[in-house]
Amino acid sequence: MDVVRSASAPARAEGSVRAPWAERLAGAAFVLPGVAWLAIFFLFPLAIIVVVSFGSVDPAGHVTLAQPGLQSYAQATRPEYLPAFANSIRYALITTVLSLAIGYPVAYWISRYGGERKTLLLILVMLPFWTSYLIRTYAWMIILRDNGVLNSVLMAAGLTSDPIPLLNTDFSVVLGMTYGFLPFTILPLYVSIDRLDRHLVEAGRDLYASGSGAFLHVTLPLTMPGIVAASLLTFIPALGDYVTPDLLGGAQTTTIAKIIQVIFTSGRDWPDGSALGFLLMAITMAGTLLALRTLRREVLA
């Protein structure tokens, strides 16, 4: 890292003919669209949620800030909702682990053995995005239903006499989420594996490391940033996923996202819903920062 930085610094000084203030201005101009985007589509809505979460609902059903307070946060942290929280975390964790377990070999294989077809293979990974996620989820419903494709095959083959309950179970939720988030796992893993200098692995082998030893002590640690990025990109959206558990889940698989939706729609209570939504986001954000900090320490070490 340091080598790269010190090598590029003089080169940039030589090439630059503009005054430092002009360079800074140009930099600001490039950053502006991104900042504006974040401000309009992230910070502004977030601010609304935060403000509303301190409000309450007046007798006419409107949000009011007349007596701002933490009452909605007290509602959001009711222990009765913990099982739904636990479900969300459980599904997100299992999905992340499964996605890594499936995604890492795929990414590794594409990077190492993809050859000239690498691009094609990566396009294949992203191919499902060409169809709406909802349609693909409905397809899973048709496959997994009690009278669905899979059960029909199993019953025709004589493997089971009664349909096995697949849809509306933990199984269908985890399956749907892993299926949906897998591309988000594969792509960062691929980038990280592809960037890995193969000579380092070869050096490991030269130093009498076995194949698995070189993988464990060279490849895996050096692709750790990719693994962490892939985990975050899978875990965070999986934690807040609403559509998959709602369509593929059942009465026993309620997640926190559903609880929030009920508060907003059936309950028509925006402050309570905002508080719970913000809380979920804050927890996610704290977790992300923690993961990134751990990663940075590991990379520097």
Q: What angle do CA 125, 126, 128 make, to 5 degrees?
A: 100
**Count of residues in contact with other proteins, rule CB under 8 A:** 46
User: Is the separation of the CB atoms in 87 and 255 below 8 Å?
Assistant: yes
Q: Which of residues 140-199 bind other proteins (CB under 8 A)?
A: 145-147, 165, 167-168
Smaller CB distance to other proteins: residue 46 or 222? 46
Structure tokens at 37: 């985007």
Distances (CA, A) of 129 to 15, 106, 138, 187: 42, 18, 15, 13
Residue 259 Cβ vs other proteins, minimum distance, rounded to whole Å:
5
Residue 140 Cβ vs other proteins, minimum distance, rounded to whole Å:
13
The four Cα atoms 30, 291, 190, 192 give a dihedral, to 10 degrees, of 70
Smaller CB distance to other proteins: residue 167 or 229? 167
Q: Note whether 110 binds other proteins by CB under 8 A.
A: no
Whats the size of the chain, residue-wise? 301
Residue 84 Cβ vs other proteins, minimum distance, rounded to whole Å:
4
Three-class SS of residue 57? strand
**What's the rounded Cα separation, in Å, for the pair 90 and 83?**
10
- Which position among 10, 20, 33, 61 is part of the footprint of other proteins (CB under 8 A)? 61
- Give the 3-state secondary structure of 242-280: CHHHHHHCCCCCCCHHHHHHHHHCCCCCHHHHHHHHHHH
Q: Which residues pair with 56 in a beta bridge?
A: 64
- Which position among 193, 201, 229, 257 is part of the footprint of other proteins (CB under 8 A)? 257
- Which position among 50, 51, 57, 191 is part of the footprint of other proteins (CB under 8 A)? 57
- Which position among 182, 190, 269, 278 is part of the footprint of other proteins (CB under 8 A)? 269
Smaller CB distance to other proteins: residue 231 or 253? 253
Phi, psi of 42 (to 5 degrees): -120, -60
Q: Which of residues 3-22 bind other proteins (CB under 8 A)?
A: none
Q: Which residues pair with 64 in a beta bridge?
A: 56
Q: Note whether 90 binds other proteins by CB under 8 A.
A: no
Distances (CA, A) of 5 to 11, 140, 169, 195: 10, 50, 52, 18
Residue 157 Cβ vs other proteins, minimum distance, rounded to whole Å:
19
- Which position among 68, 128, 250, 287 is part of the footprint of other proteins (CB under 8 A)? 250
Smaller CB distance to other proteins: residue 159 or 262? 262
Binding residues for other proteins (CB under 8 A) = 57-61, 75, 78, 80-84, 132-134, 138, 145-147, 165, 167-168, 237, 240-243, 246-247, 250-252, 254, 257-259, 261-269, 272
